[in-house]
Structure 1
Amino acid sequence: MKVTVTNIFKAVVLTSSAFAASTALAGDKPDTVTVGYFLEWPTANQIAQVEKTYDKVMGVNMEWRAFDSGTAMSAAMASGDVDMAYSQGLVPFTVAVSQGLPITMVGIAVSYAENDNCVVSEKSGITQANAKELEGKKVAVPFGTVAHYKMLKVMSHLNVDSTNIHLLDMAPADSAAAIARGDVAMACGWGGALRRMKAYGDVLMSAEDQEKIGIRVFDVISVNNKFAKKHPELVTQFLKVTNDSNSSFLQNPEKYQPVIAKASGLNLDDSNQVLALFDFPLKDAQLSSDWMGGTVQSYTKEVADFFVLHKQIPKALPDYSASIDSSFYQKVD
């Protein structure tokens, strides 16, 4: 079945065009800054979220709004309902800016590989060796996400025709329930949902093997362009607090693990197992050539071109440098 992510954003592009064309001037601080994030996704910045360090340093009330996909984050930012998104997947970010949504990447939230994957049902008997048997079967995957990109990339590598798979657009939690019921041959997702999927099967391809075929997995910190232009100091302050939280966690993880677990909605053991698979790059690393100093720009272009090839989006931008801005992080002291 042919599936695209184009229509996900079509209406939002129309309603958000005024934002992209606006020339907002600097103004007073807003009373509230709204940040999109994921539940069951433990990250070091939740230390500052719980301790309200963001509120204190930025001098605003922080509203944390949970989403079930990065595509929903993009739409909310484009409509003006959300100012920033923390740990938005690279793929939904790439799809959004390719379609003209007015958002910009300002940082890397977390790098991971093992914590986003596809699980084949043990009842299906499908492995890499006979992966073509997925053709004609149902696969649950949240469209326009990292999981979607990885699934298509893996299918291509294993010579599976993804257009002959019955793809079902399902949030990770729903995908986990679907594989548990036996409704799908494979389910894709991340975080706590991925852990639940693994009770009913095994990953089709390990993260180590995925990295060998060129798949990188990381989430970004993105911001609504109108908000960034009007309140650049708040963006920099947000990144500073995030960087400090990352540093605190790296220096003393055991101290903060219970705090992060509670904020993420996971029990301590589950949260710690997820955290063990995460890397939170600090400022110097983020500004290096390994990240926003060049690699992220080129990889974003590669992801976009891949989605065009698979007819998921109509076209890619010639270059993504204008949608990736490291200047806010450069101001972090």
Structure 2
Amino acid sequence: MKKLKKLLALALAVFMGGSLLMACGKQESKPEEKKEKTSTINVTYVKAPLNVPSIIEKDKKSFDKEFEKDKINVKWHEITAGPQQTQALAAGELQFLHALGGTSAILAASNGVDLKIINVYSRAPKAFMIITKNPDIKTPKDIKGKKIGGPKGTVLHQLLVGSLEKEGLKQEDVEFINMGIPEALAALNDKSIDAALLAGPAALKAIKGGAKVVTNGEGIVEGTIVTAVSGKFLKENPELVERFKKVNNDTIDYIKNNLDEALEIASKEVGLTKEETKEMYSWYNFDTKITEKDIEELKKTQSFLMKNKLQQKEIKIEDIIAK
């Protein structure tokens, strides 16, 4: 009996030892790979000219509430310049560019940035204007030979070129001076330029100060602003991107159903009266769905960039739209 017990104990030891060796062998040959979990989502905060959805999402902590159940922190970054946004995206410092100019998105993609547009943020042709205090300027045709100030390579620049082309003119027919919107407004007020390319609150301020609108973007440029992510982040986190889009769409619905409250919050954030904010809000279309018209508008923007030698390499616009 003792002999039988010894044999059984020996057999059990051999079996357990073999199993342990097999387990170790499997572990060494095929180590378990764990995907790094997203712990922080970094989003751009661009409140101007009048980005009501972002203002409400930040105020109501909409994204925080959506992602806190996954222990994901949401951090807002007030980076408004398109090139800085896309550089930070390429470096992995930002995950969502929430309000990126269509021009900036196209330029970044043409320069090799792995960028995907997930929705349209806004369209606002009425928000982009050529404004003057010169009584001799009544139509875009009257700016021939005049000094025009505004930001180069932007929707406003595209508006200038487009409005000139409608009159059979070219950019060379005016003296275009590259400057930011605040500088253009100041130059208009001190009469060092004849007309300024202005948008949003700056345009409204100029009009309230006695300036007049020569033209806006209607029929010339849509002023398409988009939301974009890196292709890598989209591929690795498709569910997070879809949830981000849902929160954005829910915010649009909230604004529509609670317009007075939303405009009150937005007016305080951008420093306008509620009446001024309401007037500006009427210029915007925040529908997020990407339509064929939007894609055609982005193609038109690329043509403008290529024609004016602001973009070197042409891309296929459909390739930067998230499927």
Fold in common (TM above 0.5): yes
- Residue 233 (structure 2) aligns with: 227
What's the CA shift for 1:40?
4.4
Which deviates more, 86-95 or 184-193?
Answer: 86-95
Q: CA deviation at 1:192?
A: 0.9
Return the alpha-carbon distance in structure 1 between the equivalents of residues 179 and 80 of structure 2.
10
Give 1:113's aligned residue.
125
Which sits farther off after the overlay, 246-255 or 161-170?
A: 161-170
| Residues 128, 158 of structure 1: 8 Å contact kept | no
The offset of 1:164, in angstroms, is: 4.6
Q: Which amino acid aligns with 1:255?
A: E
Q: Deviations over 1:163-190 (max 9, x none)?
A: 3533333222222222122222221131
Give the counterpart of 2:164 among 149, 155, 158. 155
Tell me which of 310, 313, 317 is aligned to 1:312. Answer: 310
Q: Are the equivalent residues in 1 in contact too, given 2:140–2:164 (CA < 8 A)? A: no
Residue type of the partner of 1:162? Q
Bigger Rg over Cα: 2
Sequence identity, in percent? 19
Among candidates 88, 99, 107, match of residue 76 of structure 1: 88
CA contact (8 A) 2:49 2:199 kept: no
Q: Using a 3 Å threshold, how does the CA distance of structure 1 residues 140 and 75 change in structure 2: closer, same or farther?
A: farther
**Residues in 1 aligned to 2:263 and 2:227: alpha-carbon distance in whole angstroms:** 22
In the TM superposition, 1:294-333 aligns within 5 A as: 294-317=292-315, 319-325=316-322, 327=323
Kindly indicate whether the alpha-carbon contact (under 8 Å) linking 1:32 and 1:61 is maintained by their aligned counterparts in 2.
Answer: yes
SS in 1 for 2:78: strand
Cα RMSD for the two superposed structures: 2.4
* Alpha-carbon distance change, 299 to 260 in structure 1, aligned in 2, over 3 angstroms: same
Q: Distance in 1 between matches of 2:278 and 2:221?
A: 24
- Cα deviation for residue 130 of structure 1 reads 4.2
Paired positions, count: 286
Letter in 1 for 2:177: L
In structure 1, how many angstroms separate the alpha carbons of the residues matched to 2:111 and 2:172?
Answer: 22
Q: Distance in 1 between matches of 2:102 and 2:159?
A: 11
Cα distance between partner residues in 1 of 2:137 and 2:35: 56
Query: Per-residue deviation at 1:50?
Result: 0.5
Corresponding residue of 1:239? 245
- CA distance in 2: counterparts of 1:78 and 1:167, whole angstroms: 32
Which residue matches 1:253?
Answer: 259
2:182 aligns with: 173
Equivalent residue letter for 2:74: M
Contact 1:26 1:230 (C-alpha < 8 Å) held by counterparts: no
Change (3 A) 1:129 1:178: closer
C-alpha change, 1:57 and 1:183, in structure 2 (3 Å) is: same
Paired amino acid for 1:108: V
- Superposed CA deviations along residues 259-287 of structure 1, whole A, max 9, x for unmatched, are 222334433232222112112215xxx1x
Which residue of structure 1 lines up, in the alignment, with residue 114 of structure 2?
102
Q: Which runs of 4+ in 1 moved over 4 A?
A: none
Any unmatched runs of 5+ in structure 1?
1-24, 328-333
- Compared with structure 1, are the counterparts of its residues 297 and 74 closer, same or farther at alpha carbon in structure 2 (3 Å cutoff)? same
Report what 1:131 is aligned to: 142
In 1: Cα distance, 2:107 partner to 2:36 partner: 30
C-alpha distance in structure 2 between counterparts of 1:186 and 1:78, whole Å: 36
- Structure 1 position 157, deviation (Å): 1.6
Cα distance in 1, alignment partners of residues 52 and 317 from structure 2: 26
Q: Secondary structure at the match of 2:99?
A: strand
C-alpha distance 114-299 of structure 1, shift in aligned 2 (>3 A): closer
Calculate the TM-score normalised by the size of structure 2: 0.79
* CA–CA distance in structure 1, aligned partners of residues 87 and 195 of structure 2: 27
Secondary structure of the 1:246 match is: helix
Residues 212-261 of structure 1 deviation map (CA, whole Å, 9 limit, x = unaligned): xx532321111233333333332222211110010111123113221222
Query: In structure 2, how many angstroms separate the alpha carbons of the residues matched to 1:93 and 1:321?
Result: 13
Deviations 1:67-113 (A, max 9, x none): 44434433332343332222222222222223322222110111222
The corresponding residue for 1:143 is 152
